[in-house]
Structure 1
Amino acid sequence: MAMQDPRRQLFNAAKRILVRDGPNALTSRAVTDQAGCAKGVLHRHFADFDAFLAELVLDRVGRLDALADTLRAAAGTGSVTEHLTGVLIDVFDPVGVAVVSLVISRDELRARLRAAGSTGIPLMGEASALLAAYLTAERDLGRLAPDTDVTVLAPTLLGAAHLLFADREAGPPERAAVRRTVTAVVAGVLRDA
């Protein structure tokens, strides 16, 4: 029986393995076994396993576009702290944390992603740009101090949040812990709405 959307099924299988077992367990055999297909299916749709992994990460990066749209629409409304808390929780959901670990652990994957236009640590770099764009909008609306350096603030928020989420065995932190971190990081630049 033909697979309806083999690429999506393979991506979903890889995400399940990443979340459950971590990046070291991710092999082409593990992915195809998890997807319930022959190993040749992966190689029919991707040049090699690293090409598959690069597409998996780029698919995850593409998910950030929806988050960016949501943040753009939220600028000037509600709580800056709550908006940042929510987006950091979305970025670092279990799949996001696992994908960051995957990117960090595979040199060839990072090289391919950089060749495709990613900078720094792929996925983290794009998430930092998303935060910087939102923070710029909020600064322009007067909700952050006019001298706020968003190019420093965005990666600071991202790095602090990543430390909260990085321990896969402990599970994700409570929303209150993420909010507390965001509050501490933006305290010096946040203006009353």
Structure 2
Amino acid sequence: MPTGVAIRDVREQLFDAADRILLRDGPSALTSRAVTTEAGCAKGVLHRHFEDFDAFLAEFVLDRVHRMDAQAAALREAAGSGTVTDNLTDALIALFGSVAVAIVALVTFRDELRARLRRAWPAGVPVLTEAVTTIAAYLAAERDLGRIAPDAPVDALAPTLIGTAHLLFADRGARPGRDAVRKAVTTVVAGVL
């Protein structure tokens, strides 16, 4: 892109480009050149807005985690309606149908990115820990409504559901169908419904 041409919302344009690369090609394909090429801008644009590529990646991951807030709110609002199994199935498909699985791999394999994220997110992998918190809050709401057992261990069920779903969705080439996700959810929560 020629210099002097204004780019609207550069940060979001670069983040959206990173999303597309992660979903299409995986974390190993995510480079500063790939992001700027995908975004249709000069490589220098990224470095004018971010200290370095790891700073870009850290802000990208945190931005995507904060986007999960709407999903969390929707799941909390679903408490008391539909079925617990369907609500959890839909939430897990929405979460892992996004760029979340690729972000987990990205964070896992980039030491400097993990170090930067630790400054803002002291424990766990941001996408997964936020998802566990969301699922636990939903399960607690359902427990309060009497739709799951009063002694249901929501703090154990939530990471079990997230881990199970993550394993189902980890293969970028073969996404599980809704029935497979629902079967896994049913198996995990059957004892507390």
Q: TM-score, normalised to structure 2's length? A: 0.94
Does the CA-based 8 Å contact 1:76-1:141 persist in structure 2? yes
CA contact (8 A) 1:138 1:144 kept: yes
Aligned to 2:43: 39
Q: Distance in 1 between matches of 2:138 and 2:76?
A: 6
Match of 2:158 among 150, 154, 161: 154
2:185 aligns with 182
Q: CA deviation at 1:179?
A: 0.4
Report deviation, 1:94. 4.5
Are 1:119 and 2:112 an aligned pair? no
Q: Show the counterpart of 2:87.
A: 83
User: What amino acid is the match of 2:186?
Assistant: T
Instruction: Compute the displacement of 1:25 (Å).
Output: 1.1
Q: Which runs of 5+ in 1 are unaligned?
A: none
1:24 partnered with 2:28:
yes
State the match for 1:98 in structure 2: 102
Q: Kindly tell me the number of residue pairs found equivalent between the two proteins.
A: 189
Runs of 4+ in 1 over 3 A off after TM superposition: none
Q: CA RMSD in A?
A: 1.1
1:65-103 Cα offsets, whole Å, 9 max, x none, are 001110111111111101100110011014122111111
* Contact 1:129-1:154 within 8 A present in 2 as well: yes
Find the aligned partners of 1:114 and 1:150 in 2 and give their Cα distance.
26
- Looking at structure 2, the residues matched to 118 and 90 of structure 1 have their Cα atoms a distance apart, in angstroms, of 25
1:136-169: CA deviation from partner (whole Å, max 9, x where unpaired): 1111111111111111100000000111100012
Q: Is the CA contact (8 Å cut-off) linking 1:18 and 1:95 kept in structure 2?
A: yes
Structure 2: distance between partners of 1:110 and 1:146? 37
TM-score, length of structure 1 as denominator length: 0.94
| Aligned residue number for residue 16 of structure 2 | 12
The counterpart of 1:108, out of the listed 82, 105, 112, is 112
1:54 and 1:109 in contact (8 A); partners too = yes
1:64 matches 2:68: yes
Q: Distance in 2 between matches of 1:133 and 1:157?
A: 13
The Cα of 1:104 is off from its aligned counterpart by 1.3
How far, CA to CA, are the matches of 2:115 and 2:148 in structure 1?
Answer: 36
SS of equivalent residue, structure 2 residue 126:
coil
How far is 1:118 from its partner?
4.7
Task: State the partner residue of 1:132.
Answer: 136
Where do 5+ consecutive residues of structure 2 fail to align? Answer: none
